[in-house]
Amino acid sequence: MTLLNGFLENPVWGLPIVIYPFLSGLVAGSFVVASLSHLFGMEKFKPLAKLAAIVSFAMLILAAQAPLADALQPSRAIWELYFRDHFPYSPLGMFIIIWSLYIILMLFEMYYLFRISNIKRAEGDSGLRGKLAGIFTLGNKDLSEKAEKRDNKALKIIAGSGIALAFLFHGYVGFLFGAIKARPLWSNPLIPVLFITSAIVSGIALMGLLYVIAFSYFSDKNKVNLDTLSELNKFLLLMIGFDIFFDLIEWLYSVRSYAPKDIYEGWHSVFSAGGGGVLSFNYHFMQMTLGLIVPGILLLSKKVRNSKAWTVIISAMVLIGVWAMRFNTVIGAQLQTKIGQGTVLFNIPVLGYDGYITGIGLFALGIFLMFVFGYFLGWEDRPELTPELAKGNKNKEAL
């Protein structure tokens, strides 16, 4: 296989653009988890609601930073995206509208979700956290049952709107790639659907990982509830099934009978193991086997679904697989050459705007934001506020 000289043809979109759909997928997936208890009344997911909302909000802020890291003049972003007449002609113009609406919706959700806990923190903490909590209440300190019902009703409306917006937000990322006809491996109407299903898979996996770690090692009030863990893993298994189904449909593009010549040749030159594809290991092992098939088989076991250790392992495998899927989609299509034979050479630098250090910095910023939001807002309820423990407390009082 001949590798073209990097000066002749290079991938235009590098590592930050791989990170962008990965982060936006975590936004959509974790928001779906956060909405399960509000919209569908699934009480077992209630302990996850605040943690999932914090993760979703942090990843939403961070997702916009990845394209900025890739931009040569990020200082012009505000002017270009908000004040130039792009809509509806520019894909990024559409993105900034959807992203801004999502930010507004998440601010409303955070307000109603944390209002009661902020009131109680403001009353019991005279420090910085208490003062900020008082500000976050926006002067509404009503703790009545009627006010709580109002909050729950608002959260239902927000959750319903937010799930639709989450699908639009991440599905639109897939649409951006699918609409680019110049790249045969992107010109695929399935890409938005694949992005949405893998987004939900990654969000569930991240929440399973954080739920076990946070409630096992960073909480002195609550513990991991095995019923919640089991339900979360069942949901993950279901979405893995959908993801594998759509991946198999996409795989048909590698079959000569179903694919045009340019797509068939491009798929085999990049992803085919038999054809020496440069990303064959990344696709067949990292994305499909490690990221989907093995976790799906393991999750068929009830013992595995109830295990904290296995949840951490499986969640990590799934996140690696989804990362591989994003890499294969963004980079893989650009490796199909336009002006010669073989595939395009792609190297990720250590330094630079599209290097490893930038990628590590973005993920580090995401972890930092989650810790900041978790510290000032509180990511867990008091034990008596969780349904299972509240029932246990009432039984103790009766005795």
Residue 364: CATH number of its domain: 1.20.1630.10
Chain mean pLDDT for the chain: 82
Q: Is the CB of residue 221 less than 8 Å from the CB of residue 380?
A: yes
Instruction: Please state the domain count of the chain.
Output: 1
3-state secondary structure string, 291-343? HHHHHHHHCCCHHHHCCHHHHHHHHHHHHHHHHHHHHHHHCHHHHECCCCCCE
CA dihedral of 244, 246, 248, 251, whole degrees rounded to 10: -130
* Interatomic CA distance for residues 101 and 107, integer angstroms: 10
| Helices 226-251, 191-217: crossing angle, 10 deg rounding | 160
Task: Using alpha carbons only, give the angle 42, 46, 50 rounded to the nearest 5 degrees.
Answer: 140
Point out which residues pair with 110 in neighbouring strands.
none
Give residue-wise pLDDT tens across range 91-110. 667 777 888 889 999 999 99
Whether residue 387 lies inside any domain: the answer is no
Whether residue 394 lies inside any domain: the answer is no
Read off the pTM: 0.86
* Interatomic CA distance for residues 344 and 2, integer angstroms: 9
Whether residue 84 lies inside any domain: the answer is yes
Whether residue 397 lies inside any domain: the answer is no
By percentage, how much of the chain surpasses pLDDT 70? Answer: 85
Whether residue 14 lies inside any domain: the answer is yes
Confidence of residue 230 (pLDDT cuts 50, 70, 90): very high
Give residue-wise pLDDT tens across range 61-81. 988 888 888 877 777 767 766
In this prediction, residue 387 carries a pLDDT of: 45
HSE-CB for 249 with a 13 A CA cutoff: 11
Whether residue 197 lies inside any domain: the answer is yes
Whether residue 324 lies inside any domain: the answer is yes
Q: Which domain holds residue 115?
A: 3-382
Amino acid at 135: I
Q: Please, what is the end-to-end C-alpha distance for the chain in angstroms?
A: 76
In this prediction, residue 207 carries a pLDDT of: 93
Whether residue 236 lies inside any domain: the answer is yes
Average pLDDT of span 178-182:
73
Comparing CA positions, the residue from 373, 377, 388 lying closest to residue 116 is 377
Q: Please give the residue that has the higher pLDDT: either 349 or 363.
A: 363
Give residue-wise pLDDT tens across range 131-159. 898 898 888 888 888 888 899 899 999 98
In this prediction, residue 81 carries a pLDDT of: 67
